Amino acid sequence: MGDVLSQSEIDNLLSALSSGELDVEEIKDNNEKQVKDYDFARPSKFSKEHLRTLEIIFEHYGRLLTTNLPVYLRKSVQVEVMNSEAVTYSEFSNALSNPVLLGIVNFAPLHGNIIIEMASNLGYAIVDRMLGGRGDALEKTRDFSEIELLIIERILVVCVNLLVEPWENVVEIHPHLERIETNSQYAQIISPSEMIAIITMNIKIGGVEGLMNICLPYITVEDVIDKLNTRYWYANIQSHDETDYADAIESIINKAQVPIKAVLGKSSISVMDFATLQPGDIIKLDREVEDELDVYVGDIRKFTALPGSSGDKYAVRVTSVLREEQ
């Protein structure tokens, strides 16, 4: 009965609550476990860590688009990653309104396809720019013609090829554009209930602004899902950077051109003799016929060699390596 309050204690408690001296939240049990709803119809296959890593990958991708697309569109392009989320494929496809631009991309060697969905106003602007226009969007939405789709396909192929570099720290991919769909009903690449990650990017081409959504099915990235974490990502980047930097320096050095010369000998003559030199005159050098020649790399005497020929060219055969630069 020790937990039962007396009447006076009850009166004091009610008085404290009514006066505001005591807050109901303060007397809640802090050790109470928090329960979170779990939807078994939508299992959370993509964690926040996975989505954050995907954002990092596509931030890199966005920078590549910003750099490369102006070459084709002759207009400045700005790309920004807006957000990432995990939804079912049916939620993604039901939100699409025809006509749409859906690039179905084979994500080899990973299984299955991904989808690049581009806002239709961006498609119209790309066509206009590619055909010499100012890149204005249409006031009224209409279906794309076959010629327009061919033009858009060329740009989408560029976008697909740019996916390789951002993903190289996770997996070496060889993506290629399989087809373009303008009707969402023909782009059922997976079951409607399958989970996907959507990376939303805002693209601005001149004065036209629209969204590009990258749809990544879980079954496609399942084999590399463990690598989609920031710790692995940054560790791999650092390792790649150090190796790539050393390899790049070595490659540049190996290809560097250095001047090399073989000196037959030297001599000193008077100014009078120099002034009267004629074709056929002989200048005696400070070396004997059987002496080795000095070979210089730049201004450093690096080798000794014997004179000779190779084919129809004069040549020297290296006889020793010197360490004069030390």
Sorted by where each begins, the domain ranges of the chain are 48-245, 260-321
Q: How high is the pLDDT of residue 1?
A: 46
Q: What is the 3-state secondary structure (H, E, C) of the chain?
A: CCCCCCHHHHHHHHHHHHHCCCCHHHHCCCCCCCCCCCCCCCCCCCCHHHHHHHHHHHHHHHHHHHHHHHHHHCCCEEEEEEEEEEEEHHHHHHCCCCCCEEEEEECCCCCCEEEEEECHHHHHHHHHHHCCCCCCCCCCCCCCCHHHHHHHHHHHHHHHHCCHHHHCCCCCCCCEEEEEECCHHHCCCCCCCCEEEEEEEEEEECCEEEEEEEEEEHHHHHHHHHHCCHHHHHHHHHHHHHHHHHHHHHHHHHHCCCCEEEECCCCCCCHHHHHCCCCCCCCCCCCCCCCCEEEEECCEEEEEEEEEEECCEEEEEEEEECCCCC
Q: How high is the pLDDT of residue 326?
A: 47
Q: How high is the pLDDT of residue 65?
A: 93
Name the residue type at position 52.
R
Name the residue type at position 114.
I
Topology annotation, domain 48-245? Chemotaxis protein chec (3.40.1550)
Prediction pTM value: 0.60
- d(C-alpha 32, C-alpha 224), whole Å: 37
The residues that bridge with 211 in the sheet, in sequence order, are: 202
CATH classification number, 260-321, choose in 2.30.330.10, 3.40.190.10, 2.60.40.420, 3.40.50.150:
2.30.330.10
Q: How high is the pLDDT of residue 232?
A: 66
Look at the block and give the residue holding tokens 């720290």: 169
Look at the block and give the residue holding tokens 């890199």: 60
Burial of 295 (0-12, 13-18, 19+ CB in 10 A): buried
Q: How high is the pLDDT of residue 228?
A: 81
Whether the CB-CB separation of 321 and 303 falls below 8 Å is answered with yes
Determine phi and psi for 173, rounding to 5 degrees.
-110, 155
pLDDT by residue for the chain (326 residues), tens only, comes to 455 667 777 777 777 777 666 665 655 555 556 665 655 655 567 888 888 889 989 999 999 999 999 988 888 899 999 999 998 888 888 888 888 899 999 998 988 899 999 998 899 999 988 888 887 777 777 888 899 999 999 999 999 999 998 888 888 899 999 999 888 888 788 888 889 999 999 999 988 899 999 999 999 888 888 888 767 656 665 555 555 556 666 776 777 778 888 888 888 888 888 888 888 888 888 888 788 888 888 888 888 888 888 888 888 888 888 875 54
Radius of gyration of the chain from its Cα atoms, rounded to whole angstroms: 36
Q: How high is the pLDDT of residue 212?
A: 93
Maximum distance among all Cα pairs of the chain, rounded to whole angstroms:
134
Cis peptide upstream of residue 99 (ω within 30 degrees of 0) = yes
The residues that bridge with 198 in the sheet, in sequence order, are: 85, 215
Q: How high is the pLDDT of residue 27?
A: 57
